[in-house]
Structure 1
């Protein structure tokens, strides 16, 4: 098994680690030469991809790949990899057996705190979520055309070692924003890696919510982390009067509880099914900084 990851960032690195542990060889792309060195130091066959063209070296790496993960955000013009390679993907990757596309639960839009699952009609609010939904369809259509299973992984708020409430509290950037009845789902980054491997090994396509079991108010996560650290949580702030970037404010315009029942019914077991146990594990083993 040989995996190629387009956009080997925080989630991509977790996927690379999961596949490598299963014996796969892994290649990945990044936009910067600094990050290229990091990929190669992690044992990943790294390549530069600017979203505009495929280098001869990258095409050579793609040619031998059996599995593809695409995590690069779409643009107004569409998914960059579909735009460049879609019609010729079978020629570029003749051994391709499985496609994974990393999307977001943002495609569901606002459901006033109600539960949603993979059958729920998507009513995306933001432009970026609308672009994600279009990219999902493009990859699903491409998988059908190639007769290759294409799994759409809809991810909730991603956290893990090095990116979590502990880090924000230590930096003094954690905020306890209060908006009545607001809830979010989350997902530990290692479970993204594990779910991608699980779906690929079973050659499963279709849409899957990759999210935890415990949607809840965002301020509760800050309080839980502060308790574990033995520090006082930041003071509460009313969402309505808080200074936020337009993007940060837009996240609070979507309120839903996302079900992971389909992925669990397929047989996947989450290593970190809820944030209290996940935060406790990170704090106890000291990996929260890494």
Structure 2
């Protein structure tokens, strides 16, 4: 039986786990605290035991306080684990700001977060069979612009020419599953149509028959530091390598189809 061990059973990884279990896989995942349906990250005996029997290993845990906690605690064990597939969910933020230009996997890593860049490089070098997935903004059921509009948290920011790429959570799972039979390497998983965030807000308001928020400056919007950082970079993410080498194609090629599915 195929056995997946997931470090960090968050939104995207949890969605993948559901897909795999529906196919008959055995899935174990770590969380911060012990639960009946998970492994406690700090329970080294249980986690190392799972590493010895897993056929597939995935980490979705981002670095924190300058350190990748999975690599720091279990990196050596993962490097020699008998699994036939190992993957890591990284971020397209490692490409940094490109002024709206397209980037593919050959682009230099120059993101503003040194810990993200270092984790991306360390995972890529950990094993020869690594699959490293660089992800842009993730959305899906319960976590999309439609939810922010409904909660009154959507903003339109006056930044002409600002462009972002996105990926539906189901297409992340699809890309990972496609890689089980594909070659190791680094892959961008993004949809086919980067666009300004304001376009999504306007489209989502039309879908929900909600009023469109006023256009605001970045300063006047009162965004959180994390939300403000979202607007600090401007790039389009190319997905051709995953399509060519993995045979992957997004189920939701643009945010239009993705938001319709969320609704």
Q: Does 1:138 align with 2:122?
A: yes
2:233 aligns with 254
1:99 aligns with 86
Runs of 4+ in structure 1 off by over 6 angstroms are none
Taking the aligned partners of 2:164 and 2:120, their CA distance within structure 1 comes to: 22
Per the normalisation by structure 2, the TM-score is 0.93
Structure 2: segments with no counterpart, 5+ residues: none
Within a 5 Å distance, the mapping from 1:1-290 to structure 2 comes to 1-33=2-34, 36=35, 40=37, 46-49=38-41, 53-89=42-78, 93=81, 95-125=82-112, 127=113, 130-144=114-128, 149-202=129-182, 204-266=183-245, 267-283=247-263
CA distances 1:252-283 after superposition (whole Å, capped 9, x unpaired): 11101110111111210211111011112222
Taking the aligned partners of 2:110 and 2:24, their CA distance within structure 1 comes to: 40
Change (3 A) 1:201 1:25: farther
Q: Is the 8 A contact 1:159 1:186 kept in 2?
A: yes
Structure 1: segments with no counterpart, 5+ residues: 41-45, 284-290
Taking the aligned partners of 1:163 and 1:9, their CA distance within structure 2 comes to: 12
Higher share in helix: 1
Cα drift, residue 219 of structure 1: 1.0
Question: Which SS does the other structure have where 1:241 is aligned?
Answer: coil
CA distances 1:44-65 after superposition (whole Å, capped 9, x unpaired): xx1111xxx4432222222210
CA distances 1:211-256 after superposition (whole Å, capped 9, x unpaired): 1111000011111111111222222212243222223222211101
Q: Is the 8 A contact 2:48 2:77 kept in 1?
A: no
Taking the aligned partners of 2:126 and 2:257, their CA distance within structure 1 comes to: 39
Q: Is the 8 A contact 1:223 1:233 kept in 2?
A: yes
Q: Is the 8 A contact 1:183 1:217 kept in 2?
A: yes
Q: Is the 8 A contact 1:179 1:240 kept in 2?
A: no
Q: Please, what is the CA RMSD of the aligned residues?
A: 1.7
Question: Which SS does the other structure have where 2:143 is aligned?
Answer: coil
